[in-house]
């Protein structure tokens, strides 16, 4: 019984431990994310390119570690959280850019997109009816 308990503890430790290079890369990505979150409304195209360059190395380290299955459970959880934050920030920045370029507010844009989807659905149904005659 002691052996099984020790084996389980060892497996948990191995699965939770990741390489320090992966942890460092995750930290670098999180710092870049913080910069973007603070300045997302005021970032220029060159700011975005600088962030992209800044993240290139850490993302390569993370991708290699994932491909090599060198990422522990804790790092995987951190990566999922960071990816979710990035997705949120990117969507907010995208909506802000659309608002800036079109002058259309998010809610109004959402309503217009819903109308467009309904019209496309109606057209698809009509086409289907026509083809089935």
> Is the pLDDT at 11 greater than 60, yes or no?
no
Position 9 scores a pLDDT of 53
Position 8 scores a pLDDT of 54
Answer positive or negative: Cα dihedral of 33, 35, 38, 41.
Answer: negative
Q: How far apart are the C-alpha atoms of 39 and 80, rounded to whole Å?
A: 23
Instruction: For 60-94, write each residue's pLDDT tens digit.
Output: 888 888 888 888 888 888 888 888 888 888 778 77
Collapsing DSSP to helix, strand or coil, 116 comes out as helix
Cβ atoms within 10 Å of 123's Cβ, excluding its own? 10
Q: Which of 51, 52, 53, 63 has the alpha carbon at shortest distance from 26?
A: 63
Collapsing DSSP to helix, strand or coil, 132 comes out as coil
Position 96 scores a pLDDT of 79
Percent of the chain at pLDDT > 70 equals: 86
> Is the pLDDT at 49 greater than 60, yes or no?
yes
Answer positive or negative: Cα dihedral of 50, 52, 45, 41.
Answer: negative
**Which among 1-10, 17-26, 45-54 has the top mean pLDDT?**
45-54
Collapsing DSSP to helix, strand or coil, 72 comes out as coil
The CA–CA distances, whole Å, from 52 to 23, 37, 132 equal 19, 14, 50
Element (H, E) at 55: helix 45-67
> Is the pLDDT at 34 greater than 60, yes or no?
yes
Instruction: For 110-130, write each residue's pLDDT tens digit.
Output: 888 889 889 998 888 888 888
């Amino acid at each position: 019984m002691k052996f099984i308990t020790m084996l389980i503890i060892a497996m948990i430790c191995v699965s939770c431990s990741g390489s320090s290079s992966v942890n460092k890369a995750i930290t670098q990505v999180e710092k870049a994310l913080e910069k973007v979150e603070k300045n997302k409304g005021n970032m220029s195209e060159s700011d975005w390119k600088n962030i992209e360059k800044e993240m290139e190395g850490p993302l390569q380290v993370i991708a290699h570690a994932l491909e090599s299955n060198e990422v522990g459970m804790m790092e995987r959880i951190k990566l999922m959280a960071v990816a979710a934050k990035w997705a949120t920030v990117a969507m907010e920045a995208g909506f802000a850019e659309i608002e800036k370029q079109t002058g259309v507010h998010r809610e109004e844009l959402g309503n217009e997109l819903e109308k467009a989807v309904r019209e496309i659905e109606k057209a698809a149904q009509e086409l289907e009816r026509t083809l089935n005659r």
